[in-house]
Amino acid sequence: MRQIHASAWLLILLSSFLQVVIFPLSGLSFFSWVAFAPLIVALLRARPEGALEIEGLPNLAPAKASQAFLLAYVCGILWYAGTCYWIYDTMHQYGGLTPPFALLALVLFCLYLGLYHGFFGLLVSLCVGPGRDIRRALVAAPFLWVAVEIARERITGFPWNLLGTAQVNNLSLTRIATLTGVFGISFEIMLVNVALAAAFLVPKKKRSTLLIASLAAALVLQVGVLVDAPVLQTNRTGLLLQENIPVDENWTRSTFERTVTDLTELSIRRTAGENSSRPESKSIGLIIWPESPAPFYTGDPLLRGALSNVAQEAHTWVVAGAIGSEPAQIGAAAQVFNSAALIDPAGDWTARYDKVHLVPFGEYLPFPSLFAFAGGLTKEVGQFGAGKSRAPLDAGDAKLGVFICYESVFPSEVREFANNGAEVFVNLSNDGWYGDSGAYAQHLNQTRMRAIENDRWLLSATNTGVTASIDPYGRIVARLPRKQRDALLAPYALTSVTTFYTRHGDWFAWLCAIISAGVLLTRFLGRKKTKKSA
């Protein structure tokens, strides 16, 4: 790969750095408008021997397909290493892996998911026209990026930090998400990046005009973070428990009993105290316990009695994260599920949601024989069964769209709850697995985007934080400090309005994929015609 000019590698390093800092904890979202421009320039100005003027575009030497893949692949590896570094600590501290194996897990993760950046680079290079005409590649790049993002969600099942999420605080721009989902924002960001990159790929006499125009567009779009909408009216209040239970707690029966007692007393005390000082219309009507590392089993008499007591004493509905189970049947073994149980004000356990999308290497081990080398990991990984329904839980006069932890990063899956009639979202999570890394903040921002896409209030109850009430604009209207045991009074409202995205899903992302396929097909057919004429 000596043909790749050193400047291209420097641009890759710059792009990787900028892509990392646009996500929490640094959260410098305004860099998202320029983060991918160096990558695009590197792909289209990679080879030093291209000092010929091509259709008025000087010094263009686009990377060959293999070179483009390598450049973008390295960029993707560095990006994942910079944003998902927390996988090392999670695997080491809580997954039972030794430091070398935990590091190996992180490296394999980055090498695998970095392939999507690599495919983006490859596709861009394939769009370069005859005589190194890069115009088709520039026009296609935003469509190609969105196509790669939808592939990352649907094929790999890890759409962590989709590009559009970087602008979750941009109230004006995120209105697009109600039509297109987060992918529309990703497209907009890439469009500006392409315009900026183009400024460095045209003759100097045109450069300043294009550069000013692209930066002005970025500035105008970024100003949306300064725009705010009126405060939304609420008519309901939930009580969200933040249990703050250590992930590595050494559980004994006495520890378990003490924890259940503490959480029960906190729930009842806070509910009684608030209801006595509030009008009936604002009294607490829903109590939520998060997903937690505690051995809470739905069949445990102590837990069942405690939660039933909370519901009866508070005269309200309760949603609680717990481990559900199904007894063994003829021809099928017993199964356990990562579940959310629903208890009515009379103390009866009326319904349960079983997590549908499980976490690989956390809740199940894919290809067990392949990963047999990781003995500690295979012992730590839970073997949960997957749920089969995303129907809302019926809590009297409210339909709750309950999803658990990692499920909140899947736009297409969360929208199914709203499309099935959920009037408010409830996310139960145990972000204690992330430690003090930036992952909890990344997770929170992705959860906020689900509220925006579906125009729903979202109640996020977490074990260690951030526990929050999120409005349909994605704004956090109430939250608890991290890493403390407390209960949050969470205002919210119900809504039955469905957005275009809720009804039609990822139509925009699939349209981008179709357009990308069309561009590649016409380029392929064009090459065949060129060869025949020659």
DSSP 257-326: HHHHHHHHHHHHHHHHHHHHTS-GGGSEEEEEE---SS--BTT-HHHHHHHHHHHHHHTSEEEEEEEEEE
What is the mean pLDDT of the segment spanning 416-439? 93
Amino acid at 184: G
Q: How far apart are CA 498 and CA 503, in angstroms?
A: 7
Answer for the pair 163, 190: CB distance below 8 angstroms, yes or no.
yes
Of the two residues 19 and 335, the one the predictor is more confident about is: 19
Residue that has been written with the tokens 């296609």 in this structure: 140
Euclidean distance between CA atoms 360 and 351, whole angstroms: 26
Mean pLDDT of 113-124: 97
What's the alpha-carbon Rg for the chain, to the nearest Å? 25
In the predicted model, is pLDDT for residue 83 greater than 80?
A: yes
Work out the average pLDDT over 384-400: 94
234 vs 359: which has the higher pLDDT: 234
- The per-residue pLDDT for 327 is 74
Q: Which is nearest to 39 in space by CA: 196, 238, 219? A: 196
Q: Which among 150, 158, 221 is positioned nearest to 191, based on CA atoms?
A: 221
| φ, ψ (nearest 5 deg) of residue 436 | -100, 15
Q: Would the pLDDT of 278 be above 70?
A: no
What's the confidence (pLDDT) of residue 54?
A: 42
pLDDT one-digit tens code per residue, 20-37: 999 987 779 999 999 999
Mean pLDDT of 341-352: 97
Quick: pLDDT tens for 63-74: 999 999 999 999
* Residue 395 amino acid letter: A
CA distance linking residue 87 with residue 259, whole number of Å: 28
Task: Give the residue, 49 or 285, on which the prediction is more confident.
Answer: 285
DSSP class per residue in 323-371: EEEE--BTTB--EEEEEEEEE-TTS-EEEEEE-SSPPBTTTB-SSTTTT
Asked if pLDDT for residue 513 goes beyond 90, the answer is yes
Check residue 368 and give its pLDDT.
61
Residue 300: count other Cβ atoms within 10 Å of its Cβ: 15
> What is the per-residue pLDDT for 352?
96
Sign of CA dihedral 220, 223, 225, 227: negative
Lowest mean pLDDT among 43-57, 142-156, 384-398, 461-475: 43-57
Task: Give the start-end residues of each E strand in 78-126.
Answer: none
Cβ within 8 Å of residue 295, ≥6 positions away:
251, 256, 323
Chain mean pLDDT for the chain: 89
Q: Which long-range contacts (CB under 8 A, 24 or more apart) does 363-371 make?
A: 363/338
pLDDT value of residue 58: 45
> Distance between CA atoms of 510 and 516, rounded to whole angstroms?
10
Q: Please give the average per-residue pLDDT across 112-126, as a whole number.
A: 97
Active site residue ranges = 291, 355, 405
Report percent pLDDT > 70 for the chain: 90
| End-to-end CA gap in the chain | 29
Across 514-532, average pLDDT: 81
Q: Identify which of 65, 77, 80, 94 has the alpha carbon closest to the alpha carbon of residue 1.
A: 65
| Full-model pTM | 0.92
- The residue among 80 and 59 whose pLDDT is bigger is 80
Instruction: Indicate if the pLDDT at residue 6 is higher than 80.
Output: yes
Left, alpha or beta for 40 (phi > 0: left; psi -120 to 50: alpha)? alpha
Is 50 exceeded by the pLDDT of residue 413?
Answer: yes
Question: Could you tell me where the beta strands, DSSP code E, fall in 84-230?
Answer: none
Q: How many CB atoms lie within 10 A of CB 229?
A: 12
Range with the poorest average pLDDT among 199-208, 300-309, 383-392, 447-456: 199-208
DSSP H or E stretch at residue 476: strand 476-479
Taking residues 245-264, what's their average pLDDT? 92
Q: Would the pLDDT of 266 be above 90?
A: yes
Question: Residue 228: pLDDT above 50?
Answer: yes
Question: Is residue 372 predicted with pLDDT exceeding 70?
Answer: no
What order do you get walking across the sheet with 468-470 strand by strand? 393-395, 398-404, 424-429, 458-462, 468-470, 476-479
Per DSSP bridges, beta strands 349-354 and 335-343 are antiparallel
Alpha-carbon distance 244 to 13, whole Å?
Answer: 39
Q: What is the pLDDT of residue 375?
A: 47
Confidence of residue 331 (pLDDT cuts 50, 70, 90): low
Q: Is the pLDDT higher at 69 or at 525?
A: 69
Four-residue CA torsion sign, 121, 127, 132, 134: negative
* Distance from C-alpha of 531 to C-alpha of 392, rounded to nearest angstrom: 58
